[in-house]
Structure 1
Amino acid sequence: MFGKGSRVLLLQELLKDWPCTFTGAKYSVPVVGVTENSKAVKPGFLFIARKGEKVDGISYIEEAIRLGAAAIVLDRPLSIDISCDTPLIIVPDCRKFLSHASARLSGNPSERLTIIAVTGTNGKTTVSRFIGQLLSGLGVRAAVIGTLGVFIDGVRATYDIPSMTTLPAEYLHPLLRDCEEKGITHIVMEASSLGLSTNRLEDCEIDIGILLNVGADHYDEHGSKEAYIQAKQKLVHMAKHLVVNRDDDACIDMIKNATKPITFFGTGETADIRLINENGAYQVKISSYDYELTLPVFEMFNQMNALAAISALHILSFPLKDILTNTRLLSLPEGRMQRIERNGVTVIIDYAHTPDALKIVLQSLAKECRERIITVFGCGGNRDKGKRKEMGEIAAFYSSTVLVTSDNPRNENPLAIIQDITAGFVSESPNVQVEIDRAKAIQRAIANASAGDIVLIAGKGHEKTQHIGEEILPFSDVEIAEQALLANI
């Protein structure tokens, strides 16, 4: 799967200075890998029998032993008897040990790489891509790891890894080792709140941590807004140098007690790296120097995303003149303000799935739209019910017509989700329509659009599937929109 394979360490080396209790005679057994997925166990692997939300790893211990597990790691007493002499190790925290063992077995590659981690409710993918593009423009070999996968020197790379914004440690560290072996020197990664809270980056040395913003998302998964913010705040403690959005009050609160170097970016005079808008012409101001900022993306929020990327490279001591020379080459990721135009109708596909993101996108489109804005959106099931009504209100306020539809309903009733969204509409309106079938909603919106109209399809962006019940079905907003535009000639 990766490069030249893992290092081989004796179990006693992995356990050195690690608080644990040990049962078994094979203390010097060689270890070649670590996993919490019993089906991925190979001879010489440690199996981390962690208790998850739905399943308990203890149930898979026998399977792991049959597949050749060198030892079993738990963070609680074993409640069953196992019929072999496989070592049992009890540690304080399975996730932290998984991170520790993954890093050690991979040779701690983050110690030798330059790691930039980006967190924020909105903009992680775009900022990460911008940083990767700027580094490539400067002749630096870089990998970008995040929601869209792994990109090395701007080209998508194929790895047998889960599709997650922030990779679990057992995949992350071998990937970092592989990048190092390929001559990559800089890694840019998205640090999600869930990735941070579950210790996926615990043993990853982070040189620069970027705090973009804090909005409404993942509250249900963390238990509260406060817990969500605390999860993101972990990056403050992990990174050696911070890049912080001076315009975001929540980000400022997060770094109040930080004692490490901080570089602020923003639009106000107190920002170290400042974005100035002079009648539509943007400039970057650092100290007493003003520099013209040339971007092929014009929305204010993407100018700010570019500023965050510029700030990271400035900290790494790249000449600002060289950085800004390359900003004209920046391009947005797939599914981020992605435009399709035909016969005067503009379709925008965007990942906006939070209230803040939807509002920012609609505000931007309102400035350029000559006629009507038609918005198609829904909210995901089994996720943050509290944001649904607010998103309904935002869509109705900025749009001439709103089609409320499904967006990965998962195990929730799609109609119940839609009812939560439409509770945000002040009153019933003929300009608010409901169409549970997302494809039909997109087709109807485009069929009703005329020259000068903008159709915003929000919520899924780059995604190529629709999660309905227990099924994950092929589905692409982009493909449906392209077909609808052709049919609308």
Structure 2
Amino acid sequence: MLLSELLKDWPCTILQGSIRRTIDGITESSKRVKKDYVFVAKKGVVSDGTTFIEEAISNGAKTLVIDRDNIDLTSIPVEVTVVLIPDSSLFISYGSAKFSDNPAEELLIIGVTGTNGKTTVSHFIGQLLKELGHKTAVIGTTGLYIDGKLTETIQNSMTTIPAEQFHPILRRCMEQQVTHIVLEASSIGLSTNRLAHCPLTVGVFLNIGMDHYAEHGGRQRYIDAKKLLIPLADQLVINEDDETCRVIGEGLSEPPIYFSRRHINGKQQPKVLLPNLGHHNEMNARAAIGALMALGYSLRAIKPHLHALRLPTGRLEKYEEAGVEVYVDYAHTPDALQAVLEALSESTKRLITVFGCGGERDREKRPQMGAVAAHYSSHVILTSDNPRTEEPSQIIVDILSGMVGFATPVEVFIDRHQAIRYAVTQAQPGEIILIAGKGHEQIQQIENQKMHFCDMEEVKKSFSYRNAKK
């Protein structure tokens, strides 16, 4: 593509160089720059892209795009074109879509947002669409799935991937005859314009709980970020039981499709759709049904396919040995942890909960999660999640502050490996263990180091250790 073609529909000022040059790619990462790439020097939360201009040029960038006019042009070679635009995050979205020939405009796309349940609902929608004969891709936290099969993993397990990777994935999906895309739309992804040039046929609002407040600067900004899904979608599906979502629906010019524990799109639906998987997964199934109805399918056409619904990896993922049931789940917010514990505590079995909270994230949710765990569990084992640069023991102290007044026994193992092993070796036949917080994740971040860590792998190793001790 010619640079002039990329820029012709976008407001810009050429500060230096020519736009009559061929470009071979566009990126906001200097490390991904190749020969004749456009480097968008975006200002991020942690670092500023302008500090990587020299590296980008060294790697082959022949065009720089910036949204600040205080750059020193004397340090940039004259053969490098420099373009000034109003908003770099919007431009990387626009440019990535255009460079891939706007694949989103040729696909039917469903975007799912919410504090909890995005991955499960996305996979449920994908499974129903496959059952109905559509070749479908699901893109989100756990990777890229085409017709239920994992075909690509997502770098750093990003819920909503950057636009420069997203649009090429859409193009590759089209080349494989995919017609329907289901994607997770995170608040971070929406607020950073990763989906700004991705028109949606359907947008789904699941719930608004406590998560990412610190990253957005407060609860209202978090809600405002979620609401950025609205102008992207032709039709909206909204959880009427969630007060914040219901208010969002009431403010729409066009009525959405509502789902709740009582009905789907105004039709009574009293029967449990997914027995034994908890109320929250019944609601997830209802959200998926609502999305299919937004696509024009009747409840009668959808119902015969509900038997095909399966939870994705790391969502109430079960392993059983020696009469002990172990569940690994991604629950990392108070609402999500409560939903999972409510589902598991419906049995009369003794319930052991192993969990921690992530570092550098919403501290106010830690005591709430502690209280939830103490209320529903027979025994709680506190440990590390991804402490990042925070002191793990301080995170645990924050969790413990919410457990005051409960008689539930609590033990602490800062090392997650030790916590899981202890839970497995101490559990008796007939008991249930929930290991919450990381789910599908394959890494643990301690300080600035990322190490391989998989909860389910640790569970199986712990049973081997338990058996060897006998």
TM-score band, normalised by shorter chain = over 0.9
Could you tell me which of 264, 288, 293 is aligned with 1:309? 288
Asked if 2 retains the 8 angstrom alpha-carbon contact of 1:275 and 1:307, the reply is no
For residues 50 and 61 of structure 1, the distance between their equivalents in structure 2, rounded to whole angstroms, comes to 11
Asked if 2 retains the 8 angstrom alpha-carbon contact of 1:266 and 1:275, the reply is no
For residues 246 and 329 of structure 1, the distance between their equivalents in structure 2, rounded to whole angstroms, comes to 25
For residues 107 and 327 of structure 1, the distance between their equivalents in structure 2, rounded to whole angstroms, comes to 36
Give the residue type in structure 2 aligned to 1:26: S
Tell me: CA distance 1:378–1:273, structure 2 relative to 1, closer, same or farther (3 Å). Answer: farther
- Structure 1 range deviating more: 459-468 or 188-197: 459-468
1:315 Cα deviation from its structure 2 partner: 1.9
- Structure 1 range deviating more: 397-406 or 24-33: 24-33
* Pairing 1:440-479 to 2, within 5 Å after superposition: 440-479=418-457
Number of equivalent positions: 465
For residues 478 and 167 of structure 1, the distance between their equivalents in structure 2, rounded to whole angstroms, comes to 25
Query: SS of 1:34's equivalent?
Result: strand
Asked if 1 retains the 8 angstrom alpha-carbon contact of 2:371 and 2:402, the reply is yes
- Structure 1 range deviating more: 185-194 or 359-368: 359-368
1:405 Cα deviation from its structure 2 partner: 0.5
Could you tell me which of 362, 378, 382 is aligned with 1:404? 382
Tell me: CA distance 1:59–1:165, structure 2 relative to 1, closer, same or farther (3 Å). Answer: same
For residues 382 and 361 of structure 1, the distance between their equivalents in structure 2, rounded to whole angstroms, comes to 24
Q: Deviations 1:260-299 (Å, cap 9, x if unpaired)?
A: 341001124695255414xxxx2xxxxxxxxxx4x46531
Give the residue type in structure 1 aligned to 2:336: A
Could you tell me which of 313, 331, 355 is aligned with 2:310? 331
Query: SS of 1:375's equivalent?
Result: strand
Query: SS of 1:31's equivalent?
Result: coil
Asked if 1 retains the 8 angstrom alpha-carbon contact of 2:144 and 2:154, the reply is no
Matched with 1:4 is: none
1:364 Cα deviation from its structure 2 partner: 1.3
For residues 297 and 112 of structure 1, the distance between their equivalents in structure 2, rounded to whole angstroms, comes to 39
1:358 Cα deviation from its structure 2 partner: 0.5
Matched, 1:236 2:214: no
Matched with 2:361 is: 383
Matched, 1:224 2:218: yes
Asked if 1 retains the 8 angstrom alpha-carbon contact of 2:141 and 2:154, the reply is no
Q: Deviations 1:439-462 (Å, cap 9, x if unpaired)?
A: 111121222222221111110111
Tell me: CA distance 1:119–1:160, structure 2 relative to 1, closer, same or farther (3 Å). Answer: closer
Query: SS of 1:417's equivalent?
Result: helix
Asked if 2 retains the 8 angstrom alpha-carbon contact of 1:34 and 1:45, the reply is yes
Asked if 1 retains the 8 angstrom alpha-carbon contact of 2:157 and 2:441, the reply is no
TM-score, with normalisation over the residues of structure 2?
Answer: 0.95
Could you tell me which of 18, 23, 27 is aligned with 2:19? 27
Matched with 1:157 is: 151
- Provide the identity percentage: 48
Query: SS of 2:196's equivalent?
Result: coil
Asked if 2 retains the 8 angstrom alpha-carbon contact of 1:246 and 1:271, the reply is no
Query: SS of 1:199's equivalent?
Result: coil
For residues 81 and 449 of structure 2, the distance between their equivalents in structure 1, rounded to whole angstroms, comes to 39
Matched with 2:111 is: 117
Matched with 1:40 is: 32
* Structural RMSD (CA): 1.8
Query: SS of 1:385's equivalent?
Result: coil
Matched, 1:61 2:61: no
Matched with 1:171 is: 165
Matched with 1:252 is: 246
1:257 Cα deviation from its structure 2 partner: 2.3
For residues 117 and 408 of structure 2, the distance between their equivalents in structure 1, rounded to whole angstroms, comes to 33
Matched with 1:129 is: 123
1:485 Cα deviation from its structure 2 partner: 2.9
Matched, 1:432 2:432: no
For residues 414 and 362 of structure 2, the distance between their equivalents in structure 1, rounded to whole angstroms, comes to 19
Query: SS of 1:461's equivalent?
Result: coil
Give the residue type in structure 2 aligned to 1:168: P
Asked if 2 retains the 8 angstrom alpha-carbon contact of 1:266 and 1:274, the reply is no
For residues 327 and 430 of structure 1, the distance between their equivalents in structure 2, rounded to whole angstroms, comes to 38
For residues 231 and 130 of structure 2, the distance between their equivalents in structure 1, rounded to whole angstroms, comes to 29
1:50 Cα deviation from its structure 2 partner: 1.1
Tell me: CA distance 1:161–1:460, structure 2 relative to 1, closer, same or farther (3 Å). Answer: closer
- Structure 1 range deviating more: 379-388 or 335-344: 335-344
Give the residue type in structure 1 aligned to 2:397: Q
1:434 Cα deviation from its structure 2 partner: 1.0
1:12 Cα deviation from its structure 2 partner: 2.0
- Structure 1 range deviating more: 161-170 or 423-432: 423-432
Query: SS of 1:367's equivalent?
Result: coil
1:319 Cα deviation from its structure 2 partner: 4.5
* Pairing 1:279-358 to 2, within 5 Å after superposition: 282=272, 293=273, 295=274, 298-358=277-337
- Structure 1 range deviating more: 120-129 or 336-345: 336-345
For residues 131 and 380 of structure 1, the distance between their equivalents in structure 2, rounded to whole angstroms, comes to 29
Tell me: CA distance 1:161–1:485, structure 2 relative to 1, closer, same or farther (3 Å). Answer: closer
For residues 438 and 43 of structure 1, the distance between their equivalents in structure 2, rounded to whole angstroms, comes to 44
Asked if 1 retains the 8 angstrom alpha-carbon contact of 2:111 and 2:200, the reply is yes
Asked if 1 retains the 8 angstrom alpha-carbon contact of 2:108 and 2:201, the reply is yes
Matched with 1:290 is: none
1:346 Cα deviation from its structure 2 partner: 1.1
Misfit runs of 4+, over 6 Å? none
For residues 345 and 406 of structure 2, the distance between their equivalents in structure 1, rounded to whole angstroms, comes to 23
1:38 Cα deviation from its structure 2 partner: 1.0
Gaps of at least 5 residues in structure 1 are: 1-7, 283-292
Give the residue type in structure 2 aligned to 1:27: I
Asked if 2 retains the 8 angstrom alpha-carbon contact of 1:111 and 1:205, the reply is yes
Query: SS of 1:244's equivalent?
Result: strand
Give the residue type in structure 2 aligned to 1:135: L
Could you tell me which of 133, 140, 154 is aligned with 2:134? 140
Tell me: CA distance 1:428–1:436, structure 2 relative to 1, closer, same or farther (3 Å). Answer: farther
Give the residue type in structure 2 aligned to 1:43: K
